C-alpha cells in the first residue's frame, strides 16, 4: 500500500488538477500550440514551462493560439503564425505595452501594432448575451508549473497563471507537513526573486501569491526585503486565518472559488488596477506621479460580491449595513462596489441597468475628496464619474443621469426645487461613515429630492384643510426610506440608530436584534490580527497630573461646587506651567523614544490632540519654542477651523490650509497639533504617536485614536500618551467595535405617544395653534404670519413654567423631533399629528430661550492661583479586548427631567476638596489614590451599562441603587492594584459613605435630554 504524498509537489499537483483536469503532460506530446487538456469545472489549460518566453515574459503558445482562434485576419496581417522578425517585433511591442500600462490595462483595452489593434481578452458576458458568452469562452486561462523566469539563473516559480498567454498571478507554495509555511514562501519572494526580472516588474502581474495549507498572502509589487505581503484569508471566529474544512484544505477556497475563470475574470475587469497617483516626495516636497498596483483583500472582494448577490436577489429598495474596521480600505471597497453597480443587470431584464445613478454620500469634505480621488483613480470610471463640488454640479449630474456621483449629504437641500420628479429613477446610495451621515434633517430632504417630493408646493390662497392633510401625508411618505433606492451603509462604529436603520433584523425567541450580516462584517479584531491595521491601544500610557491650588483672597465666598471644581480643573490644565510641562514630556518622548528608535524607518510623525482652538495654539507656540531651545530640526503644524484672535491656521503656519496633509509628510514637520480637525477621515500611515490632552468618550475615542492604525511596510507599532482620559474608559469604547456590534431590542414607537402627551400637558401651546402654524407654513405664508403664533407660545413658556419645567419641556421637545425623524424613516405607518407637531416644534425650539441661570461659580478663578504642578506617566498598558460581540441598547426615547439645584460651598472647602482629590491625600501612595478617586472610578462607574440604563429610564432613587451596585463592582476590580483603597472602602463606613455620595454626585446625569454618556458626564462635573 502506497502512503499519502504530503509533499509540496503534491499540493502543487492538486491545485493544477482542480484547475486543468490534469497535473502532468503526456511524455511525448504531439501538439505544438494551444490547449492540451481542459477540466470541465475549472476550465483551465495546462501550460508548458517551455512555452514561456523569458525575453518578453509571455506564454507565446497560448497567446498565439488565442489570436489565431479569435482574430485570424489580424494574425495573418502581422504574420504571427510563422517564426521570424514580424512575430518577434509584435511580441516585443506587446511586452513594451505591458511595461508601460500594466497587464490589466492591456487585457482590457488591447494593444495596437502596425495597421491593426489586437484584442487580448474577451469580456465577461452580461446576462442573456449569448454572443458575448461564446466570445468569453474563447479566452485561454492556463496554469503552468515550475516556470523558469530568468535567463540568468535556474530559479523556478511553483505556478504561474496566464490569461491568453499574459501572466497575471505567480505562486510560491509551501506545506506545513514538510515543516515549511507561508512565511517561508514570503521570505523566498523577498530574498530570491529579483524585482528587476521582467516577470516581477510593477504591473507585469496583478499579484504574487504565497500559499500553504493554512494561509494565503499576496503582494502587488516586489521590492526585495521590503516587499509587503498582506493576508488574503477568509477570517475565522471574527479573527484572522481560515476555518477548518470538513472536505478539503483550509486554503482550497483560493483555487475552488477565487481562481475560477469567471471569478478571476471579474477581478481583472472590476478590481485589479494600476492606479496613477500624485504623491509628494518627503525629502524634496515635489509632487510626482506614481503607479501603484491595486488588488482587493479577501474581505473587500467578498463584501462587494455578497452585496451584488443580495441586490440580484432583492432588487431595488433594500438596506445593507457593512461594518468594516477603521482603516480597512472602505474607500476602495466603495469604489469597486460603485463601479459594478453602474451596469448591474438582472436576469429578469438584462437590457436595462438596475440603477440610473450611483450616489456616494459622505458626511465630511475630507472624506468627500478622498473617496472622489479613489474612484477617479480607476481610469475606466472617469467618463461616468462626477464629483460635485457645489449644488449646481450635483443638479446637472442628476439631470443628465451621470452614473457615479460623489457628494456630501449637506448639498442635497439646496437643489430640491429644481430637481423635478426623479421618482421614476432608481438610485444606489453608498453612505460612508453611516453612523454620522443619517438621521438628520438633511437626510430627510435628500429622500424628498430623490423621490421627487419637494419641501413646499404651491397652494392656492384659500387652501383647504384637505390640501394641508394631503401635503402632510406626502411629507410622511417622503420621510421614509426610499422605495426607489438601495442603501449601502458603511461604518466602523455603528450607533444604535444606524444598526436599526440599516442592519439585518433577526428574532431569537422574543428578542429582536439588529447587526451587520456576518458576510458584511470585517472586525477590528480580524484587521489587527491580519496586520492590516495596527492595535492602537497595545501601547497606551496614561499620565497623571498632580497640583495644588491656593486661595488668593482673604474672605471665603460661596460658589457652586460642581461648576467651580470644573472651572478650576480647566484653569489648571490650561495654565502656562501645565502646558509647558506637558510639552516637554511630549517632545522629549518623541525625540528620545520615537526618532531615536527610527520608527517607520525614521519617518514617524506625531499628533497632539487638544481640547479647543486656544489650547491648540498654546501648544503650537510652546512646542515651537521648545524645539528651538533644544536645537531640534523639527517643526510643528497647527490645524483648526476658523480664526483665533483674528489669525487662521494658514497665518500661523505660513502656508495654505489645503497643504497641511502634504506638508506633514515632509521634513522638517513632525508634529501636527489639532483641535477638532484631522481626528476623523485623516489617513496618514506615517502617523505613529499621539499625545492626547482632550477628554474623549465612546465613538469619539475610537475615531480619534484610530488615526494611528494605518499600516505601513515599516510600521510595526504605535504609541499613545494620554493626559486626559481613563484607560478603562478607552478600552470600553474600543470594546464596542472590536467584534460585531449588535443592538438588542428595538425602538418603541409608542414612546412618541407618551412624549406628545407630556408636551401637550405642559400647555405651552394648544392644538389649534399647531394646526394653524402648519397650515400657514405649508401654504407659503410670510414670516409675519408665523411668528405671532410662536411668540405667543414663548410667552406662555416664560410666564407659566418655572425653570425646572422649562428645562423639561425643551428637552422633551428636542427628543420628540429627534426620535420622530428616526422612527418616521423605518415605520410602515405614520401619524399626521406626529408630523404636524414635529413641524411646529422645529420652529418653536429655536425660539425658546435657555432658562435664565445664574452662574454661581463666577469669580472663582480670580480668587485662586496654582502653587504647584507636576505630571507623572503611569505604567504602559497593553489593554486586551474581550473576545465577544458588543451588545448595545436601542436608542432611548425619553425626555428631559428638569434641573437640579446647585450645591453651594465655600471657596476654602471647594479648594480643599480639589486639593484632597489631586494633591494632599494622606495615603501611602497619595498620587495614585488621588488620580483613581478623581478620574478612574467616576468614569468606570459612569460607563456601567446598568447604571446608564437606570438613569435614562428610572427615577433618581432607582438610579442611586444601580449606582451603588456599579461602584461595588468597580471597587472589586481595583482590589489587586489598590489594596489600601479597597480596604478603606470595605472597613471604614464613613469613608465608604462619603466616597459613594461623591461618586453619585459626579456621575448622575441630571439633564437626561442631553443623552450624554458616562464619560461625558464626568467631563461636565470635573
Q: Tell the residue number behind the cell numbers 415605520, with chain if given.
A: 827
Average pLDDT over residues 805-826: 88
Residue of higher predicted confidence among 439 and 794: 794
Q: What is the pLDDT of residue 403?
A: 83
Look at residue 28 and tell me whether its pLDDT is greater than 80: no
pLDDT per position as a tens digit, 264-314: 999 999 999 887 777 766 566 677 778 888 999 999 999 999 999 999 999
Cβ 925 vs Cβ 841: under 8 Å: no
Domain stops at, among 800, 822, 847: 847
| Rounded Cα gap, residues 424 and 414, in angstroms | 21
Shared domain for 727 and 839, answered yes or no, is no
Average pLDDT over residues 247-266: 95
Q: What is the pLDDT of residue 478?
A: 67
pLDDT per position as a tens digit, 212-240: 999 999 999 999 999 999 999 999 999 99
> How far is C-alpha 45 from the geometric centre of its chain's CA atoms?
42
Look at residue 756 and tell me whether its pLDDT is greater than 70: yes
CB neighbour list of residue 415: distance below 8 Å, 6 or more residues apart: 391, 394, 395, 398, 449
Shared domain for 810 and 832, answered yes or no, is yes
Of 328, 322, 235, 302, the C-alpha closest to 515 is 322
Residue of higher predicted confidence among 975 and 58: 58
pLDDT per position as a tens digit, 80-128: 988 999 999 999 999 999 999 999 999 999 999 989 999 999 999 988 8
Cβ 340 vs Cβ 380: under 8 Å: no
Shared domain for 213 and 67, answered yes or no, is yes
Q: What is the pLDDT of residue 1?
A: 58
- For the residues of 704-734, what is the DSSP string, one character each? HHGGG-B--TT----EEEESS--HHHHHHHH
- In this structure, the strands spanning 427-432 and 485-491 are parallel
Look at residue 506 and tell me whether its pLDDT is greater than 70: yes
Q: What is the pLDDT of residue 32?
A: 47
CA angle 358, 364, 368 (to 5 degrees): 45
Verdict on whether the full-model pTM lies above 0.75: yes
Domain stops at, among 228, 253, 270: 270
Shared domain for 394 and 502, answered yes or no, is yes
Shared domain for 801 and 708, answered yes or no, is no
Q: What is the pLDDT of residue 462?
A: 38
Number of other residues whose CB lies within 10 A of the CB of residue 475: 22
Cβ 398 vs Cβ 355: under 8 Å: no
| Rounded Cα gap, residues 951 and 1005, in angstroms | 7
Q: What is the pLDDT of residue 4?
A: 67
Look at residue 1017 and tell me whether its pLDDT is greater than 70: no
Which ranges of 713-831 would DSSP assign to H, the alpha helix? 727-735, 750-761, 767-778, 783-800, 803-826
Residue 863: inside a domain, yes or no? no
Residue 414: inside a domain, yes or no? yes
- In this structure, the strands spanning 111-113 and 156-163 are unpaired
| Rounded Cα gap, residues 167 and 659, in angstroms | 40
Cβ 288 vs Cβ 199: under 8 Å: no
Shared domain for 359 and 505, answered yes or no, is yes
Q: pLDDT confidence of 1013, banded at 50, 70, 90?
A: very low
Shared domain for 115 and 264, answered yes or no, is yes
Domain stops at, among 744, 761, 779: 744
Considering just the CA atoms, what is the radius of gyration of the chain in Å?
A: 33
Q: What is the pLDDT of residue 932?
A: 79
Residue 861: inside a domain, yes or no? no
> How far is C-alpha 17 from the geometric centre of its chain's CA atoms?
41
CB neighbour list of residue 786: distance below 8 Å, 6 or more residues apart: 773, 776, 777, 843
Of 408-412, 958-962, 966-970, the poorest mean pLDDT is in 408-412
Residue 855: inside a domain, yes or no? no
Of 260-269, 684-693, 714-723, 726-735, the poorest mean pLDDT is in 726-735
Of 288-297, 540-549, 792-801, the poorest mean pLDDT is in 540-549
Peptide bond into 222 cis (omega under 30): no
Q: What is the pLDDT of residue 583?
A: 95
Shared domain for 317 and 396, answered yes or no, is yes
pLDDT per position as a tens digit, 145-166: 999 999 888 889 999 999 999 9
Residue 1: inside a domain, yes or no? no
Residue 528: inside a domain, yes or no? no
Look at residue 485 and tell me whether its pLDDT is greater than 90: no
Shared domain for 539 and 500, answered yes or no, is no
Look at residue 414 and tell me whether its pLDDT is greater than 50: no
Q: pLDDT confidence of 505, banded at 50, 70, 90?
A: very high
Cα distances (Å, whole numbers) of residue 1007 to 83, 684, 807, 856, 911: 86, 39, 8, 18, 26
Average pLDDT over residues 589-616: 95
Full residue range of the structural domain in which residue 928 is found: 921-1021
DSSP 8-class letter at 932 = I
Residue 872: inside a domain, yes or no? no
Shared domain for 364 and 395, answered yes or no, is yes
Q: What is the pLDDT of residue 510?
A: 85
| Rounded Cα gap, residues 557 and 554, in angstroms | 9
Cβ 827 vs Cβ 862: under 8 Å: no
- The proportion of the chain whose per-residue pLDDT surpasses 70, expressed as a percent, equals 82
Q: Which CATH number goes with the domain that contains 618?
A: 3.40.50.300
Question: What cell numbers appear for 123 in the block?
Answer: 469580456
| Rounded Cα gap, residues 344 and 378, in angstroms | 18
pLDDT per position as a tens digit, 192-209: 999 999 999 999 999 999
- For the residues of 909-931, what is the DSSP string, one character each? HHHHHHHHHHT---STTHHHHHH
Shared domain for 418 and 372, answered yes or no, is yes
What total number of domains does the chain contain? 5
Residue 857: inside a domain, yes or no? no
pLDDT per position as a tens digit, 863-898: 777 777 777 666 666 677 888 888 888 776 666 666
Shared domain for 739 and 759, answered yes or no, is no
Q: What is the pLDDT of residue 189?
A: 97
**321 strand-pairing partners:** 489
Which ranges of 148-297 would DSSP assign to H, the alpha helix? 182-192, 253, 261-270
Amino acid at each position: 500500500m502506497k502512503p499519502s504524498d504530503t509533499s509540496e509537489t503534491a499540493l502543487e499537483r492538486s491545485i493544477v488538477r482542480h484547475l486543468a483536469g490534469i497535473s502532468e503532460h503526456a511524455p511525448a506530446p504531439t501538439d505544438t500550440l494551444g490547449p492540451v487538456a481542459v477540466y470541465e469545472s475549472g476550465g483551465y489549460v495546462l501550460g508548458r514551462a517551455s512555452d514561456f518566453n523569458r525575453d518578453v515574459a509571455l506564454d507565446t503558445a497560448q497567446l498565439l493560439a488565442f489570436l489565431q482562434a479569435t482574430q485570424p485576419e489580424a494574425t495573418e496581417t502581422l504574420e504571427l503564425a510563422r517564426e521570424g522578425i514580424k512575430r518577434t517585433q509584435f511580441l516585443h511591442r506587446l511586452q513594451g505595452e505591458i511595461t508601460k500600462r500594466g497587464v490589466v490595462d492591456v487585457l482590457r483595452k488591447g494593444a495596437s501594432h502596425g495597421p491593426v489593434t489586437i484584442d487580448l481578452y474577451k469580456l465577461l458576458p452580461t446576462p442573456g448575451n449569448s454572443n458575448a458568452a461564446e466570445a468569453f469562452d474563447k479566452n485561454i486561462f492556463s496554469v503552468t508549473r515550475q516556470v523558469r523566469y530568468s535567463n540568468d539563473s535556474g530559479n523556478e516559480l511553483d505556478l504561474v497563471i496566464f490569461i491568453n498567454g499574459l501572466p497575471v498571478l505567480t505562486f510560491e507554495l509551501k506545506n506545513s507537513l514538510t515543516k515549511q509555511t507561508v512565511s517561508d514562501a514570503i521570505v523566498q519572494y523577498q530574498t530570491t526573486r529579483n524585482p528587476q526580472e521582467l516577470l516581477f516588474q510593477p504591473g507585469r502581474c496583478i499579484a504574487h501569491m504565497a500559499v500553504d495549507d493554512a494561509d494565503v498572502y499576496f503582494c502587488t509589487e516586489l521590492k526585495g526585503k521590503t516587499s509587503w505581503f498582506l493576508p488574503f484569508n477568509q477570517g475565522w471566529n471574527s479573527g484572522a486565518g481560515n476555518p477548518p474544512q470538513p472536505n478539503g484544505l483550509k486554503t482550497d477556497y483560493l483555487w475552488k472559488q477565487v481562481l475560477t475563470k469567471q471569478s478571476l475574470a471579474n477581478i481583472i475587469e472590476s478590481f485589479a488596477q494600476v492606479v496613477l497617483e500624485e504623491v509628494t516626495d518627503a525629502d524634496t516636497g515635489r509632487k510626482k506621479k506614481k503607479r501603484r498596483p491595486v488588488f482587493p483583500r479577501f474581505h473587500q472582494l467578498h463584501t462587494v460580491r455578497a452585496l451584488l448577490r443580495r441586490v440580484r436577489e432583492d432588487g431595488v429598495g433594500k438596506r445593507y449595513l457593512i461594518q468594516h474596521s477603521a482603516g480597512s480600505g472602505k474607500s476602495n471597497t466603495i469604489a469597486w462596489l460603485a463601479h459594478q453597480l453602474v451596469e448591474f443587470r438582472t436576469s429578469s431584464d438584462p437590457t436595462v441597468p438596475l440603477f440610473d445613478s450611483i450616489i456616494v454620500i459622505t458626511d465630511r469634505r475630507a472624506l468627500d475628496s478622498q473617496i472622489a480621488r479613489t474612484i477617479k483613480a480607476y481610469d475606466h470610471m472617469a467618463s461616468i464619474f462626477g464629483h460635485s463640488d457645489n449644488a449646481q454640479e450635483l443638479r446637472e449630474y442628476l439631470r443628465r443621469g451621470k452614473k457615479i456621483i460623489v457628494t456630501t449629504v449637506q448639498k442635497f437641500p439646496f437643489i430640491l426645487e429644481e430637481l423635478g420628479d426623479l421618482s421614476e429613477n432608481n438610485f444606489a446610495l453608498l453612505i460612508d461613515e453611516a453612523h454620522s451621515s443619517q438621521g438628520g434633517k438633511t437626510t430627510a430632504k435628500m429622500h424628498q429630492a430623490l423621490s421627487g417630493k419637494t419641501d413646499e408646493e404651491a397652494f392656492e390662497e384659500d387652501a383647504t384643510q384637505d390640501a394641508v392633510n394631503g401635503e402632510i401625508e406626502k411629507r410622511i411618505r417622503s420621510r421614509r426610506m426610499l422605495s426607489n433606492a438601495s442603501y449601502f451603509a458603511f461604518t466602523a462604529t455603528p450607533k444604535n440608530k444606524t444598526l436599526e436603520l440599516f442592519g439585518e433584523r433577526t428574532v431569537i425567541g422574543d428578542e429582536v436584534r439588529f447587526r451587520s450580516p456576518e458576510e458584511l462584517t470585517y472586525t477590528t479584531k480580524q484587521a489587527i490580527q491580519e496586520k492590516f491595521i495596527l492595535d492602537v491601544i497595545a501601547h497606551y500610557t496614561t499620565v497623571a497630573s498632580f497640583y495644588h491650588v491656593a486661595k488668593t483672597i482673604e474672605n471665603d465666598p460661596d460658589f457652586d461646587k460642581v461648576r467651580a471644581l470644573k472651572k478650576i480643573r480647566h484653569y489648571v490644565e490650561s495654565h502656562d506651567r501645565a502646558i509647558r510641562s506637558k510639552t516637554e514630556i511630549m517632545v522629549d518622548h518623541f525625540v528620545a523614544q520615537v526618532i531615536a528608535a527610527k520608527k517607520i524607518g525614521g519617518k514617524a510623525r506625531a499628533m497632539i490632540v487638544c481640547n479647543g482652538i486656544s489650547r491648540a495654539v498654546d501648544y503650537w507656540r510652546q512646542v515651537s519654542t521648545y524645539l528651538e531651545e533644544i536645537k531640534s530640526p523639527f517643526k510643528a503644524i497647527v490645524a483648526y477651523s476658523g480664526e483665533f484672535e483674528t489669525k487662521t491656521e494658514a497665518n500661523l503656519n505660513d502656508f495654505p490650509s489645503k497643504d497641511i496633509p502634504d506638508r506633514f509628510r515632509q521634513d522638517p514637520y513632525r508634529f501636527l497639533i489639532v483641535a477638532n480637525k484631522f481626528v476623523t477621515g485623516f489617513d496618514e500611515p506615517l502617523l505613529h504617536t499621539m499625545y492626547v490632552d482632550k477628554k474623549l468618550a465612546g465613538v469619539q475615542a475610537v475615531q480619534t485614536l484610530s488615526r494611528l492604525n494605518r499600516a505601513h511596510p515599516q510600521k510595526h507599532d504605535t504609541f499613545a500618551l494620554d493626559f486626559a482620559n481613563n484607560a478603562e474608559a478607552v478600552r470600553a469604547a474600543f470594546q464596542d467595535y472590536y467584534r460585531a456590534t449588535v443592538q438588542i431590542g428595538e425602538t418603541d414607537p409608542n414612546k412618541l405617544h407618551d412624549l406628545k402627551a407630556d408636551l401637550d400637558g405642559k400647555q405651552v401651546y394648544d392644538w389649534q395653534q399647531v394646526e394653524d402654524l402648519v397650515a400657514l407654513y405649508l401654504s407659503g405664508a410670510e414670516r409675519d404670519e408665523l411668528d405671532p403664533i410662536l411668540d405667543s407660545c414663548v410667552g406662555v413658556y416664560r410666564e407659566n413654567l418655572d425653570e425646572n419645567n422649562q428645562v423639561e419641556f425643551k428637552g422633551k421637545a428636542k427628543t420628540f423631533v429627534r426620535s420622530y425623524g428616526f422612527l418616521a424613516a423605518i415605520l410602515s405607518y405614520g401619524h399626521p399629528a406626529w408630523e404636524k407637531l414635529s413641524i411646529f416644534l422645529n420652529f418653536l425650539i429655536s425660539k425658546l430661550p435657555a432658562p435664565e441661570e445664574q452662574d454661581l461659580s463666577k469669580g472663582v478663578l480670580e480668587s485662586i492661583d496654582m502653587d504647584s504642578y507636576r505630571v507623572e506617566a503611569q505604567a504602559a498598558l497593553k489593554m486586551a479586548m474581550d473576545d465577544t460581540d458588543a451588545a448595545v441598547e436601542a436608542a432611548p426615547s425619553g425626555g428631559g427631567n428638569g434641573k437640579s439645584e446647585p450645591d453651594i460651598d465655600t471657596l476654602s472647602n471647594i479648594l480643599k476638596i480639589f486639593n484632597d482629590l489631586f494633591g494632599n491625600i494622606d495615603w501611602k501612595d497619595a498620587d495614585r489614590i488621588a488620580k483613581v478617586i478623581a478620574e478612574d472610578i467616576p468614569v468606570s462607574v459612569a460607563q456601567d451599562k446598568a447604571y446608564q440604563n437606570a438613569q435614562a429610564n428610572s427615577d433618581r432613587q432607582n438610579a442611586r441603587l444601580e449606582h451603588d451596585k456599579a461602584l461595588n463592582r468597580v471597587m472589586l476590580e481595583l482590589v489587586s492594584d489598590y489594596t489600601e483603597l479597597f480596604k478603606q472602602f470595605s472597613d471604614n463606613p464613613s469613608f465608604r459613605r462619603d466616597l459613594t455620595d461623591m461618586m453619585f454626585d459626579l456621575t448622575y446625569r441630571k439633564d437626561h435630554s442631553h443623552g450624554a454618556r458616562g464619560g461625558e458626564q464626568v467631563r461636565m462635573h470635573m
